[in-house]
Amino acid sequence: METELETIRKEIDAIDDQILDLLQKRCALCRSIAHIKRAGHCAIHDPSREAAILARLTARTDPSLGADVVERIFTEIFSLSRQIQHHGENRAR
């Protein structure tokens, strides 16, 4: 039993590492978007874009996870992304 538990935990650890890598890539892209938005005098917050992303993601969410869970996770990601865009090169606060 312990071996099976350790095996599954190792798989979860690997997934967590992938999630972190993807979040870091997303943050780097958010910084690039912030530069473009500032140059074009565009607002950082784009509620219609966030709504479209949520609609796309929740439409493809497996029922075992739940659209509400995906919405909560991505709402937090959006919030942190806006913080990164507002603070430029500094990390989210």
Written as one string, the DSSP assignment of 49-75 is HHHHHHHHHHHT--TTT-HHHHHHHHH
In a domain, 93, yes or no: no
In a domain, 21, yes or no: yes
Task: Write the pLDDT tens digit of every residue in 30-57.
Answer: 999 999 999 999 999 999 999 999 999 9
Q: How confident is the model at residue 89 (pLDDT cuts 50, 70, 90)?
A: low
User: What is the model's pLDDT at position 91?
Assistant: 55
- Helical (H) or strand (E) element with 88: none
pLDDT of 93 above 80:
no
Q: Summarize the confidence of residues 24-33 as an average pLDDT.
A: 96
In a domain, 11, yes or no: yes
Q: How confident is the model at residue 2 (pLDDT cuts 50, 70, 90)?
A: confident
Sign of CA dihedral 66, 67, 72, 73: positive
This prediction has a pTM of: 0.85
CATH number for the domain spanning 79: value is 1.20.59.10
In a domain, 92, yes or no: no
In a domain, 50, yes or no: yes
Task: Write the pLDDT tens digit of every residue in 57-80.
Answer: 999 999 999 999 999 999 999 999
In a domain, 14, yes or no: yes
Provide the 8-state DSSP code for 29. H
